[in-house]
Structures are given as structure tokens and as C-alpha cells.
Chain A
Amino acid sequence: MIEEVRQRFRQLNPGVEFCSLRWVEERSETYSVRQDVEQPASMTLDGGVMITVIHRGGYGYAATSDVSATGLSKALERAKAWADASRQHSVFDYSSVALPRPVGRYQSPTPVVPRASRRELLDLLMAESQACKVNDKIVDWHAFIEFKQSHQLYLTHDGAEVEQQFDFVVPGLVVTAFGDGDSQSRSLGGQYNGYCRQGGMEIIHQSGLFGSGRRVAEEALELLAAPNCPSGNMDLLLKPEQMMLQIHESIGHPLELDRILGDERNYAGTSFVTLDMFGHYQYGSALLNVSYDPTLQNEFAAYGWDDDGTAVQKTLLIENGLLKRPLGGTISQARAGTDGVANSRACSWNRPPIDRMANLNVELGDKTLDEMIGGIEYGVMMDTNVSWSIDDSRNKFQFGCEKGWLIKNGQIQHVVKNPNYRGISATFWRSLKAVGDHSTFDVMGTPFCGKGEPSQVIRVGHASPACLFGGVDVFGGEE
């Protein structure tokens, strides 16, 4: 199909200042076993094109799954019509943007381990499922694997051409225990698919899915029997499965340039960050270094070019705690008059690109987990996000985790359930007291980052070491 789309687009004569085509074809397969019963296997086969036109200051797009010559021609006419209709009312003179004309190819890392057969995958999931029922208090459990392949082509009317192919893998397992009026769930990598990467079967092996059923079930029972997380102002040690969410909500979204420019105010919100802060705002303590890095190939949002054709490059957004650069693509950069990164992305063929955070990572420090725990007089370590909420300026947040550990006098005491904490982005990162080394590091992400009008759910990656924060408001569940 890709060759036909390429040829048909090349035969169009758009007669406008700028015209691009973005073709996306995705195939996915999901396998799942719940309570030792194979769930209906499902597949998706999605595909279509978006044609974008910039002409005389206006911007218009049209998306269709009809990729015939007639379909592309009709889409072009609709995109031109919208560019024409909007040009008198545009928020920005789109003709003033010099969009890149890239040529190149990107492919996810080649799978290291050959793909198992469908039957083998289902049998493996069944084995993990059957290992979960360790106790009558285990009331629900399921294991799943999703594979998705995405093939994309970006063309401009004047010769640019980028082809990108991605392989995404999302394994997971969730177990729920119930007893004495309480219900606790424990997961492998998060109940919302936090373990997600690019690659093949090796990602499933790395995730620890195989052999995890019994362990996760026992941890669910452990939570059921655990006391509530204590309340108070104390040290908070976050492991990567929670750090990914902390980074996502209170660094990633506030730094998105389209939010700062106000595009998202009617839906996802604005930002406490303003354009004048870049270059001198102390976002975090001097230990905080945050990078935008789509070049880390196994991470979920690795790519070579964004959906406006800009090539990627690892960039430090926060260096030694100092805010340096926003997350904004070429058009946002031109609107704001500032540098950004290549993060103009769309979730698929039927949504236009907007600013997205891609891979956003906290750089390594030099502390082992034991060293950080040893330095805590009184605090809680938390892991695996289960609840997230933050205001529309991405400032006042409250997050909850699946599991916590009470720490006293440098020693872990016991597991606690319903661990939650709250704070304010503008001050929280300045309380960063220690950053973990490579032994504490993990690569996580989410397939479900929601944003935009029309709404889009996109893939992002977050890699991080464990991090220690001081003086955080921590609390547990209902007493």
C-alpha cells in the first residue's frame, strides 16, 4: 500500500505553498487470559492518510481512509478549502513557518528474541494466570500482551520523504485480593500499562511477566493485610514505576509549548510555566536533570522525525535544576519565538499533530537504593502509580501508588497500603534530595496520554532512576 500512496500523492498537483501527506497503517494483536479463561483475541487493522495544506497564511487538513487517487484528491480539496476558510481568521500566519523537508528512514530496534506463536503466547499467559490463585482471597486476575506495529510515511509536495516503522510491546498482569471489606490490586508494571516499550519478545522477558503470577498475587495479599499508609510531612522515595507519572504530569505537560501558548486551555489546561521563565527559572534542586530523548530506541516514544518532519536530537530541558527549553514543535516554536524540540506528533492518521512530550527522562544520579533508604529518618517509599490528578496549570497534584514501604531510621519497616502524596510542582522538584544510580533505573511509559481537541491518546516514554524528596505531604486511605 505504501508504494501506491507514494505514487498517487506524487501525481497530485496541489497548487499551494505547502502540502504534506502523512500515511499511517497500524496492526495490533491483543491476547489475554482472565481467571484461567482465554479472553477473545482481538486484532486491529487501521490505516489512512492526512493531507495538510498551508496557503496564504491559512492551515487546513483532511483525513480519510480512502487512499485511492480519488480519495487523496478529495482530501486535498477539503484541506485546501479549510486553509482558505481559516486564513482570514488564523491565530498565526502559517505561511511564515519554514517546515523542514526531511529525507530518511527510522525503524524500531530489531527484535532480539523471535516472536512466539499465538498458541505459545496464550499458553504462557495461561500459566501465569493459573499461578495467581494462591488463596481464596484472590478474586480476580488477568495477564495480557499487546503487540502493535506502526508503519508511517511522511511526504511533502516538493520531495521530502520519511518512512518510519515501529514495533510496540505492552505486557501486563493485574491481581485483585478482597477480604474484610477491603480490595487491593497489585500489578506488573502498573494497572494502566506502564510497562511498555519498543521491541519484540525480549521486552516481555525483560518485563518479568513470565514467572510473575504467584509473586504479584502474594503482593496483593500482602497489601490486603498491610496497615494504611501513615499521614504526615516526611521523606518520600519514589521508584521508577511512580517516577514515570511524576515526570509526566508535573514536568512533561507543564513544559508543552502549546499549553503555554494557550491552545489547550479549553480542555487539558494551561501551564504554570510562562515563556519568560526559560533560561533562569529554578524548576528543581541542582540534582535535577531532565532530557527529551526520542533517540533511546527501546523506549516507547522513540522515533526519528516528528509528524511535521523535524529530526530528533537528545536535548536537556532542565539542567542542574534550571529550566532551559520547552517541549514545542516547529510551528509552536515559530509562534512563541523560542527554541523547542521535535515533538509535534499525532496519535494516528485521523488527528492533526500537536505538541507531545515523547520520551521524557530524568538523568541518572549516583546513589544506590540502599544509600537513599539509609538516609531516611522517617518516610515512605512508593511504587507503581494507581491514581493521578493535577490542576489545569499542572501545579497542585495528588498521586497514589499501589504499594508503599514505611522507612524508619534508615530501615524498611513494613509494607503499607493506599499510599498517596500531594504537593505543588513549582516547589516539589526543589525538594529533590537524592537521585538514584543505574541500579535503580527503569524504562517505563504510557500508551494513554490524553490531550487535544479533537482528543488524542498518544504513546510516551519515561525512564528514571529512583528519586528521594524531602518534606512531602503523605497520607493513606480512609480510616
Chain B
Amino acid sequence: MKSYFYDLADFIQSRLHGGEDYTAWLSGERSDFVRFNHGKVRQAGEVQQLYLSLRLIRGQKHVAISLALTGMVEADQNRVGGALAHLRDLLVDVADDPHLLLNTIPQAGDRYESSRLPASEAMVEDVVAAANGYDFVGFLASGPMFSGFANSWGQRNWHETASFSLDWSLYAGGDKAVKAGYAATEWQREQFHHKFDHAAAQLLLLQKPARTIAPGQYRAYLTPDAMGELMGMMNWDGFSEKSLRTKRSSLIKLADDELSLNPMVNLREHTVEGLAPAFQAEGFIKPAHVDLIREGRFAGSLISPRTAKEYGVVTNGADGSEGFESLQMAAGDLPQDRALAELGTGLYISNLWYLNFSDRINCRVTGMTRFATFWVENGEIVAPLNVMRFDDSLFRMLGSNLAALTRERDLLVETQTYDSRQSNSMLLPGALLSEMTLVL
């Protein structure tokens, strides 16, 4: 696909009129999607998709189109030729854009990993065999993904990997389940069975009668998965420079030094160790890392080229959404196998779910416990917990009420597939909270 895209870039270049420039971003995948329920296959199929985001620029005017392509050279050249004509027509009507910032100095940035994936049908056979006798529900996504960038200043970038993710739950009945995942670039049957057996063993804990607790404040241990949901809320425009400037960020009080998090909290956008491309849609190369929170204090924001131009600051290669893609949180010193003992009596929360702000300016977040969440007494799991709603400020949860972070960290790979498969990831520890507020 790389040579196909670079040839397409040359074609676009050859069709430009005097005074015109372009940027082009290609994203595509050839994915097998298999959905499971009750240990069987619910829906299985293949999706091949290829999208080109083409921006035509004349001076300070520019317009863009997102175009579905076929991967067939002649057909796609025709489509792109038609799109250019459309963009020229649109360009007449738009005003100069004072916030346009382009990267006119070509920068390299390539990554290619050839596929080591087996046929998806073979993975399905392994999954169905392992799931026999279990109430297994889940989703397998597998195949290559690629992204490319090109512009009229000669920059060419390519990022191509092939991977799979199997995200599944084993149900004990009702809404009680254990959730697990396996994502990699190579399917290792033994590793899959190891993860499956580990999840299956946890099912036994869910067989006990569930307990309902009253709203109130409780000690809590959040697994890295649960922490991932809290980080996701911070990524909801929290570190966006534009949102900070326009006072819509939930971290305004952190950025303004009005409030702080616990000194244990260190967050970094760590592109160099992530799975996402190191270049973005306008052709800017991302730095190896950007510190976001250092020892509980605000350390930096994510700045897109557009925001950089608008506010007269320097871009750090963030996409237009200004969210992190390869987050790392520094580890603490609590051994994970000591988490229950240190928790003592309280909640062991495997997953959080459906978070949203209840008071954004104060970074107050609500959400639900989900999957294997337990009531713990004296360091021992006593009973699965019926789902509870929490509503608490992250300034408390990750501030004064943060008691410890685990020494071990888990790599969480994004499994949502809206529009396309994702390459976002987070490397996170678990967290022990001295207090967490449950409300319903």
C-alpha cells in the first residue's frame, strides 16, 4: 500500500494548478471482525476500507475532503481528480484562514511491520474451543492497518502494522462477568489459553451471592483497566490547549495552579513507545514525549498546529482533537500482589464504565462499577458487588485520596472500532484510594 499511496501523492502533485498546494492523509485497514455470544459466532465478516483526507491550499485559503478510495490505481486517480475539481469550486467561496499552519519542511517518519498474523478463521477455532462450556461474549478484530502522509513540499510518511485484539467477557450470570483481553501482532495459542484460564479462574469468585452496599465513602482499589477510564475522562479535552484557552477543559484549575493532584501522579504522552503513528494529519512529527503532569502539577498541554497559530505558541504535533494517544503513567511502589492486603476493607474495582462529567470545571466525574467488582474485608474477597454509581472529583480521587500506585503497569490497547480500528494505548498502574464516593 505504501507505493500505491506514494504514487497517488505524485498523481495529486501532477494535477495541481499554479499557486496550489496540498496535504494528504491516508488511513486504511483490511480487518476481519468476529463477534461472539454464548461461546458461538454471532456475526463474522471482513471490512476493507481506505480513506483519503485531501486538503487543497491556495495562499491562506484551504478546503478539505474525506474520500473513500478503492485501492485500485485507475479508479482512485479518477476519484481524486474529481475531488480536486470539487475542492477548487469550494475554494472560491471560503475566506482566508488566519489559523492555517503548514509544515513546509519535509520530515521523515516511517514504520513498517510485516504481518505475522494467522488466518482469522484459525483464531476463531481456538476461541470457540476454549469457550466451550462458558458463557463467553466478545469480539475479535484482526488484520493490517496503515496510515500515510504526503504534501506538496515533498514529505512522505508511512506507518503500517498488522495486529489483532480479542476483547472478551466470561459471564457468571446476570450482569456479573470477568473481562479480559489479548492483543498482539502474533497469535500465540498458549498465551491465549493462559489468559483465558486466568479469567475463568476468577469466575469462581463471582459465584458467591452478590452484595449491595449503601452509598457513602469507601476505600477502593482500581485496576489499571479502571484507571484507564479515569484517564479517558482527562483526555476529554482536558489537555487540549484550545480547550484550556477557551475554558472548556476539565483541568483548568490544574493548569491555573489553583488545584493539584497527588505528587505520585506523573503523566506523559509517550509517542516513541506507543502504537500510534509519529506523524499527524498536517505532516508535523510528534516529539518522543510530552510531559502532561509532573508530580501532580500541570506540566504541558497538547497543541495542534491550528491552535499554535491561533494563540502564538509552538505546536507539539498534536492532532486536531488535541488528545493523547500513547499515554504513560509513572508506576508507584505498591506490589500488585499486595493490593488486596493494602486495601484491607473496601472495593476491588476491575472496571469502570460510562463515565461523564457531573461538574466539568471541578473535574467531577460520575460513572459505574462494572464486571468483576468485589467487596473485600481484611484483604480477602468476600463477595461480588452489585453495580454502584460513583460521583467524585478527580482532584480528590487522584489527589488527596490517592494512597498508592502499583509497581506493575498494564498496557491497555484501545479496542473500540468507531470509524476504524484504533492505535491508541495507555500504560497504567493500578491505584489504591483511601476514599471514593459512591452515590447510588
Residues of chain A having any CB pair with chain B under 8 Å: 37-38, 40-48, 50, 52, 59-68, 71, 78-79, 81-82, 85-86, 89-92, 117-119, 122, 139-140, 176, 178, 181-183, 185, 261-263, 265-267, 269-270, 350-352, 387-393, 396, 398, 400, 418, 420, 422, 424, 450, 453-457, 473, 477-478
B230 smallest CB distance to A (angstroms): 14
B45 touches A420 (CB 8 A): no
Which of these binds chain A: B90-98, B147-155, B264-272? B90-98
Assembled-state Cα–Cα distance A396/B174 (Å): 15
**B213 in the interface (beta carbon within 8 A):** no
Nearest 5 A/B pairs, CB to CB: A61-B45, A140-B246, A453-B139, A91-B40, A477-B359
A43 touches B37 (CB 8 A): no
**B284 in the interface (beta carbon within 8 A):** no
Q: Name the B residues within 8 Å of A140 (CB-CB).
A: 246-248
B44 touches A82 (CB 8 A): yes
Q: Name the A residues within 8 Å of B356 (CB-CB).
A: 387-389, 398, 400
Residues of chain B having any CB pair with chain A under 8 Å: 31-38, 40-51, 55, 62-72, 75, 79, 83, 86-87, 90, 93-95, 97-100, 121, 124, 128, 135, 137-139, 141, 167-169, 171, 174-175, 177, 179, 246-248, 252-253, 258, 353-362, 364, 366-368, 370, 387, 389, 391, 393, 416-419, 439-440
Nearest chain-A residue to B256 (Cβ)?
A181
Known: A45-B67, A61-B45, A91-B38. A66 touches B358 (CB 8 A): no
B431 smallest CB distance to A (angstroms): 20
B439 touches A422 (CB 8 A): yes
Known: A46-B68, A63-B48. A37 touches B99 (CB 8 A): yes
Q: Which of A37, A269, A393 contacts B98 (CB 8 A)?
A: A37
Q: Name the A residues within 8 Å of B179 (CB-CB).
A: 266
Q: Which of B32, B90, B95, B248 contacts A43 (CB 8 A)?
A: B90
Assembled-state Cα–Cα distance A396/B51 (Å): 39
Known: A140-B248, A266-B139, A390-B354. A60 touches B70 (CB 8 A): no
4 extra interface residue pairs, beta carbon distance < 8 Å, beyond A350-B47, A388-B356, A391-B387: A62-B47, A63-B48, A454-B47, A478-B359
Assembled-state Cα–Cα distance A47/B42 (Å): 26
B37 touches A391 (CB 8 A): no
Assembled-state Cα–Cα distance A186/B155 (Å): 42
Q: Which of B174, B366, B417 contacts A454 (CB 8 A)?
A: B417
Q: Which of A37, A38, A42, A65 contacts B50 (CB 8 A)?
A: A65
B391 touches A398 (CB 8 A): yes
Known: A66-B48, A478-B364. A43 touches B66 (CB 8 A): yes
A122 touches B357 (CB 8 A): no
A389 touches B45 (CB 8 A): no
Q: Which of A45, A86, A351, A393 contacts B66 (CB 8 A)?
A: A45
B435 smallest CB distance to A (angstroms): 16
Nearest chain-A residue to B171 (Cβ)?
A265
Q: Name the A residues within 8 Å of B98 (CB-CB).
A: 37
A48 touches B418 (CB 8 A): no
Q: Which of B167, B361, B389 contacts A182 (CB 8 A)?
A: B361
Q: Name the A residues within 8 Å of B87 (CB-CB).
A: 43
Assembled-state Cα–Cα distance A171/B323 (Å): 25
Q: Name the A residues within 8 Å of B93 (CB-CB).
A: 41, 117-119, 122
Nearest chain-A residue to B250 (Cβ)?
A183
A71 smallest CB distance to B (angstroms): 7
B247 touches A352 (CB 8 A): no
Known: A266-B169, A422-B439. A82 touches B358 (CB 8 A): no
Q: Name the A residues within 8 Å of B138 (CB-CB).
A: 266, 453
Assembled-state Cα–Cα distance A219/B439 (Å): 30
B338 smallest CB distance to A (angstroms): 30
A43 touches B45 (CB 8 A): no
A2 smallest CB distance to B (angstroms): 15
Q: Which of A178, A262, A396 contacts B137 (CB 8 A)?
A: A262
Q: Name the A residues within 8 Å of B41 (CB-CB).
A: 86, 89-91
B248 touches A42 (CB 8 A): no
Q: Which of B40, B70, B248 contacts A89 (CB 8 A)?
A: B40
Q: Which of A65, A183, A261 contacts B48 (CB 8 A)?
A: A65
Known: A140-B248, A398-B389, A454-B141. A90 touches B40 (CB 8 A): yes
Nearest chain-B residue to A62 (Cβ)?
B46
Q: Which of B45, B51, B418 contacts A455 (CB 8 A)?
A: B418
Q: Name the A residues within 8 Å of B67 (CB-CB).
A: 44-45
A336 smallest CB distance to B (angstroms): 13
A82 touches B45 (CB 8 A): yes
B367 touches A389 (CB 8 A): yes
Q: Name the A residues within 8 Å of B370 (CB-CB).
A: 269, 391-392
A183 touches B252 (CB 8 A): yes
Known: A261-B37, A392-B368, A392-B387. A455 touches B417 (CB 8 A): yes
Assembled-state Cα–Cα distance A46/B40 (Å): 33
Report 21 cross-chain contacts, Cβ distance below 8 Å, ordered by A residue: A38-B95, A40-B97, A41-B90, A45-B83, A64-B49, A66-B71, A68-B72, A82-B45, A89-B128, A91-B41, A122-B94, A140-B248, A181-B361, A263-B42, A265-B171, A350-B47, A392-B370, A398-B389, A400-B357, A454-B31, A477-B359
